[in-house]
Structure 1
Amino acid sequence: MEKTCSRTLRGKCYCSAVCYAVADEFLYAMNCHCSNCRRTTGSAFKPFAGIERVKLIVTEGQDKLMVFGDADGNNTHCGLCGSLLYSVVREGAFVHVAMGTLVDDPTIRPTQHIFVGSKAPWFTITDDLPQFEGHSVAAESADR
């Protein structure tokens, strides 16, 4: 059987000072409606895709990163334009890539809404994806 190579996706911040490359091997993707994700993105929710941290490499602008948190759990932004690029989670082993910063189209799509128990009251979810008050079973399994 022939092995297929994964594709590498490009991502960048709004001002293009920070660029990254990530394997198109995301394990899960969700829309998070928690208040922290809403404040961090300035939006009704954060669409993110999760992958092992070692599969994301900052290719330009490492010195421009602004990190809120510590090495094992943080939100990583561009220090110039403020774009949220990714969040380091699960004791530093994974990143949740903010899907809006991807330049290339990933093969994965969000499969559910999480933390809808604290979603913005002014936003109505209009798709048919499953909704969870907090973490979903898939998210909890991925956290292990």
Structure 2
Amino acid sequence: MTRILTGQCRCRAVTYEAADEFAYAVNCHCSNCRRTTGSAFKPLAGIAIEKIKIAAGSENLMVYGDEPDNYLHCGKCGSLLYAVVKNGTYAHVTMGTLVDTPSIRPTHHVFVGSKAEWFEITDDLPQYDESD
């Protein structure tokens, strides 16, 4: 049986559920991810869109962008929960919003060519200047 993971925004006004069936996980260093998170990179996990849903607080969602691809934030605290990508077929879950620990771990770094100059990658994961 598939394990269901819970994720939440900072203020807990929005909760989502995702199957622990992520297809991939990466650390993204692109400038958009840095701006969205306010940190050096965004750990994200990709999952088929039918395997994730908002479980509570949908009235508090703020959707940024147009379909089929957009970003789901909490409208109260602003947390980025996940991005809908690949023409609406996948979600990129912001791993820091997961309450439960997923079985997947980031396997590499992407968009290292535009990473923050003040940040040094110190792990041994493969690095790609753009996406892999």
Taking structure 2 as the reference length, what is the TM-score of the superposition? 0.98
Find the partner of 1:87 among 69, 83, 90. Answer: 83
Structure 2 alignment gaps of length 5 or more: none
CA separation in 2, counterparts of 1:104 and 1:127?
23
Fraction of identical pairs, as percent? 63
Find the partner of 1:113 among 103, 109, 115. Answer: 109
Give the aligned residue type for 1:82: G
Taking structure 1 as the reference length, what is the TM-score of the superposition? 0.90
| Rg comparison, structure with higher value | 1
> Deviations 1:23-42 (Å, cap 9, x if unpaired)?
00000000000000000011
1:9-24 residue pairs with structure 2 within 5 A? 9-24=5-20
> Deviations 1:96-125 (Å, cap 9, x if unpaired)?
000000000000000000000000000000
RMSD (CA atoms): 0.5
Secondary structure of 1:85's aligned partner: strand
**Residue 71 of structure 1: how far off its partner (Å):** 2.1
Matched, 1:47 2:43: yes
CA separation in 2, counterparts of 1:29 and 1:122?
23
Matched, 1:98 2:82: no
Q: Which consecutive aligned stretches of 4+ in structure 1 deviate over 3 angstroms post-superposition?
A: none
Count residues with an aligned counterpart: 132
